[in-house]
């Protein structure tokens, strides 16, 4: 007796896998920040995180599959990317997230990096 696979379809069209939304966000973040997208999106222990700006920062990307007004941020995401940055030699880490496909990205950084940013802005000639 053969077992049929259930198709994930809604209104006659196949549902786009979550991986496609994630990859699109990762490509956008890497392009906008001048970073490198890690192959397999950090799924291997040899290349943690999703985006790397060498010798600077490791970024974990999170996106919603549908446009939304909220997202739950998990402490584990922040802690994990921080540990991965430490072990891979990057001095900083952050989590990039958005509220759905083609939405603006926002970034979560720790207090040390935020203080560094504040000091930089205070000392820049733009203020």
For the stretch 101-115, pLDDT in tens is 999 999 999 999 999
Domains in the chain, CATH or no CATH each: 16-123 (3.40.1350.10)
pTM of the shown model: 0.81
In which element (H, E) is residue 53 found? strand 51-53
- List, in sequence order, every residue forming a beta bridge with 76; answer none if it has no partner: none
| CA angle (85, 86, 89) in 5-degree steps | 80
Torsion of CA 82, 113, 92, 32, to 10 degrees: 110
Distance of CA 11 to the CA centre of its chain: 30
Of 73, 67, 69, the C-alpha closest to 97 is 73
For the stretch 26-77, pLDDT in tens is 999 999 999 999 987 656 667 789 999 999 999 999 999 999 999 999 999 9
């Amino acid at each position: 007796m053969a077992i049929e696979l259930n198709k994930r379809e809604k209104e006659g069209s196949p549902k786009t896998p979550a991986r496609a939304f994630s990859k699109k966000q990762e490509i956008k973040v890497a392009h906008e920040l001048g970073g490198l997208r890690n192959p397999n999106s950090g799924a291997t222990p040899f290349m943690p995180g999703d985006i790397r700006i060498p010798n600077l920062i490791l970024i974990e990307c999170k996106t919603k599959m549908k446009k939304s007004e909220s997202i739950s941020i998990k402490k584990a995401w922040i802690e994990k990317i921080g540990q991965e940055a430490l072990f891979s030699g990057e001095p900083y880490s952050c989590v990039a997230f958005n509220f759905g496909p083609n939405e603006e990205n926002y970034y979560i950084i720790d207090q040390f990096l935020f203080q560094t940013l504040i000091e930089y802005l205070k000392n820049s000639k733009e203020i």
